Amino acid sequence: MMLEKALDILKKYYGYDSFRKGQENIITSILEQQDTFAIMPTGAGKSVCYQVPALLLDGVTLVISPLISLMKDQVDALEDIGIPATFINSSLSVSETKKRIYDVNQGRYKLLYIAPERLEAPDFNHLITNLHIAMVAVDEAHCVSQWGHDFRPSYRHIASFIKQLPQKPIIAAFTATATEEVKKDIISLLKLHQPNTFVTGFNRENLFFSVVRGEDRRKYVIDYARNNRDQVGIIYAATRKEVENIYKDLKQAGLNPTKYHAGLSTKERKQNQDAFLFDDNPIIVATNAFGMGIDKSNVRYVIHYNLPKNMEAYYQEAGRAGRDGEPSDCILLFAPQDIQLQKYMIEQTLLSPERKKNEYAKLQEMVDYCYTPNCLRKYILEYFGEENVPDACNYCSTCTDDSELIDITEDAQKIFSCILRLKERYGSTMIAQVLMGSKNKKVLEFGFNRLSTYGIMKEYTEKEIKDIINILVADRYLRLTEGQYPVLRIDEKAIPVLKNGEMVYQRVQKKKEILLEDNNLFELLRDIRKNISIEENLPPYIIFSDQTLRDMSKFCPTNSDELLRIKGVGENKLQKYGELFLEEIRAYMEEKGINPDPIPTEETSTSKKKSTDKTPSHLVTLELYQTGLSLKEIAQQREISLTTIQNHIIQCANEGITVDLDSFISQQYEEMILMAINEIGSDKLKPLKESLPEEIDYFTIKAVLAKYK
């Protein structure tokens, strides 16, 4: 019964007929009063998992969120669909804070967003403990663990705050990325009581993962941004200096970027972030200071200009692409010098030796990802503990690479032999120098020039040998000890290569670009969305996502009932914005003669499809017309707009099927239309329509064109 109510809320407010993968189980767990821990990839809809139950629970849901910008976006989005929500953070005065808490107490809001730092303030705790708190939802829950990639000490106060409440609320914790160690920490430190744990899978099927090595990175970024100039993208760089340089390069290339890093003033960061969110600047170049909690759904690409510090950070940042489910690129531009930059950054921290050791190990996993010759998606999913992952996803730069495998067995054997002769005591630099026959002072001083492996790869540069070494490390033939100065060791996988000549291969990967094409209607609808966003001071993606606009442009709804069947259109948004979009769609259909696809419904997505679904839609219309029904009656019977039915008739005529077009054309109008065609031409319908009397509609014009071919 409660789940049925949850589905009603989903349809009414969010505009969806069914929950996404995993959402139903998580919501059911919460509604059954169980502590719940959910690991869901970015874009999987985790906020719905606590927002929907919040409307059904008796009391307020307290949402602990790490960033002010995230709270505001979430609250704006909820208010836009008609759900009462508010936030409290440092941007508010004391009096405004008290007023909002009073309003929550009076039942005016069902969700209250706060930052974890607020829980440390005794005065605030005193005010809030009097509320009837039904649930505490902890977003970005990995921040509670020192082993997570965004540790926030303030998250450690959540458990003690909950403990002092007069009645224990349901605790629901959510994160997008968590290793086994972090999972255990979250459950322990948040004091979750026998929680139901759900891992919905880390796979983001719409994301295309690429690793690009050996390219001129600056040129690559400029070329990619030019080729995708109409798309929204994030470019991450490791330092403020890199951000500034890339920003200037893109600016000089005639593109429209903005930038974000900690060196900018708070005001400038806010302005630049808003310019990106409102689509004024489609590209943002940023350090990792940017992005947590950014719900912008239409990011089409994320480029990492430098190596991220670990896989958790990379997957979270890359996952900001394609939150709307549309195909998107995640590109990592790798250069070996990035490894030293990240090691330097680890050394500059005040972490304990144990933490530093852990950071070095995670960095090595990131390096291995850049060099692995295997499926990139498989590497990522197995890192996060998924089992039985297919060997190939056919949607990453490795799986779609059609280059030939290169036999590097002989080079691998030379490298393994050199490591053994150096008694596994040195790193890749010394090994490469010995193999290339370097006259480096240390090489000669240690007598390594007398080894049999000295100079046996003299045709290679030091960089080329180190690249091969990194490939062998990534493919587990070699392993590196942890620490700032790692040492190479032979792994078990290398022994058959040395003893039995087992083959070793390297694959040279190709660059993959995804260029998306948008139809004209999509662009027109995007313009309407932009105008609304300016009027209401809301980011465009909060009004409707790109996916919703694409569905509108594909299925062309012409009335309120049809528009409600588009995913992402709820009752509140229909009332606020529906007619604006419907007017544009109707006009476009009339001008272009569009025959839209039927809008999918629950019925057509199950085995209960109508038998007529097997017949092309325009032929079903023709069959009904031949039974004597009028076009208007067919439209009512099929629950399709009259314009669509008219276009079906024209489509049949254009395909050579016998249709009595004269029944739709009066002789008087036919002569007028033919004269207009002689004067104007028939390439575009709109000029024809504007030159004719108002009572001559697009259908009559198209019927004449079809009659005379």
- Which two three-digit tokens encode residue 403? 């280059």
Stretch among 49-63, 205-219, 681-695 having the lowest mean pLDDT: 681-695
d(CA 166, CA 133): 10
DSSP 153: G
Query: Within its chain, how far is the Cα of 676 from the centroid?
Result: 49
Residue 423 has pLDDT above 70, yes or no: yes
* pLDDT recorded at residue 610: 38
Residue 214 has pLDDT above 50, yes or no: yes
Mean pLDDT of 291-320: 87
Question: Looking at residues 552-573, what average pLDDT do you find?
Answer: 88
Give ∠ CA 510-469-480 in degrees, rounded to 5: 120
Q: At what angle do helices 571-592 and 546-555 cross, to 10 degrees?
A: 40
| pLDDT (mean) for 537-544 | 88
pLDDT at 197: 92
| DSSP code of residue 401 | -
**Per-residue pLDDT tens digits for 44-102:** 788 999 999 999 999 999 999 877 767 877 888 899 899 999 998 877 888 888 899 88
What is residue 505's three-state secondary structure?
strand
> Is 269 strand, coil or helix?
helix
Walk across the sheet containing 36-39 and list its strands.
Answer: 85-88, 111-114, 60-64, 133-138, 170-175, 36-39, 196-199
Residue 634 clears pLDDT 90, i.e. is over it:
no
- What integer pLDDT is reported at residue 450 of this predicted model? 93
**601 pLDDT more than 60:** no
Phi and psi at residue 426, to the nearest 5° = -130, 165
Structure pTM?
0.64
- Provide, rounded to the nearest whole percent, the portion of the chain with pLDDT above 70: 92
* Listed range (129-138, 237-246, 572-581, 685-694) with the worst mean pLDDT: 685-694
Q: What does the pLDDT read at residue 470?
A: 79
- DSSP-derived secondary structure for 616-676: -HHHHHHHHHHTT--HHHHHHHHT--HHHHHHHHHHHHHTT----GGGG--HHHHHHHHHH
User: Could you give the CA distance from residue 317 to residue 339 in angstroms, rounded to a whole number?
Assistant: 18
pLDDT of residue 366: 93
Q: Which residues pair with 479 in a beta bridge?
A: 489
Confidence of residue 651 (pLDDT cuts 50, 70, 90): confident
- Of all residues in the chain, the percent with pLDDT exceeding 90 is 35
Q: Nearest-CA neighbor of 532 among 15, 86, 80, 230?
A: 80
Residue holding tokens 């809320």? 9
Q: What is the mean pLDDT of residues 264-283?
A: 91
Round the average pLDDT of the chain to a whole number and report it: 85
Which one, of 486, 314, 336, 506, lies nearest residue 407 by Cα?
Answer: 506
* Token pair listed for 220: 């690559």
How confident is the model at residue 275, as a pLDDT? Answer: 92
Q: Which two tokens stand for residue 30?
A: 């919460």
- The residues near 580 (Cβ < 8 Å, ≥ 6 apart) are 528, 532
pLDDT on residue 340: 78
Separation of alpha carbons 620 and 468, rounded Å:
62
CA-based radius of gyration for the chain = 30
Position 248 scores a pLDDT of 95
pLDDT of residue 613: 44
Residue 405, classed as helix, strand or coil, is strand
pLDDT digits (tens, 9 = 90+) for 258-268: 999 989 998 89
Residue of 45, 118, 325 lying closest to 207 (CA atoms): 325
- Helix 2-9 to helix 46-56 angle, to the nearest 10 degrees? 120
Question: pLDDT, tens digit, for every residue of 479-518?
Answer: 888 666 788 999 888 999 988 888 988 765 444 444 444 4
Closest CA to 345 of 317, 311, 309: 309
Label residue 607 by pLDDT band (50, 70, 90): very low
All structural domains of the chain: 2-199 (3.40.50.300), 207-383 (3.40.50.300), 405-507 (1.10.10.10), 528-608 (1.10.150.80)
Whether 208 has a pLDDT exceeding 90, the answer reads yes
Q: Determine which of 32-41, 284-293, 522-531, 552-561 has the lowest per-residue pLDDT on average.
A: 284-293
- Side chain identity at residue 545, one-letter code: S
SS3 237: coil
pLDDT of residue 611 exceeding 50, the answer is: no
Lowest model confidence (mean pLDDT) among 21-35, 178-192, 229-243:
178-192
Q: How far is CA 159 from CA 51, 116, 144, 618, in A?
A: 21, 11, 10, 61
CA distance 638 to 199: 41
Q: How far apart are CA 30 and CA 49, in angstroms?
A: 9
pLDDT at 1: 67
Q: Which of 230-239, 341-350, 391-400 has the lowest mean pLDDT?
A: 341-350
- The closest alpha carbon to 235, from 317, 343, 118, belongs to 317
Residue 394 has pLDDT above 70, yes or no: yes
Which pLDDT value is given to residue 593?
67
Q: Which of the two residues, 641 and 13, has the higher pLDDT score?
A: 13
Cβ atoms of residues 428 and 469 within 8 Å = yes
Report how far residue 590's alpha carbon sits from residue 643's, in angstroms, rounded to the nearest whole number.
Answer: 8
Q: What's the average model confidence in pLDDT over 345-368?
A: 85
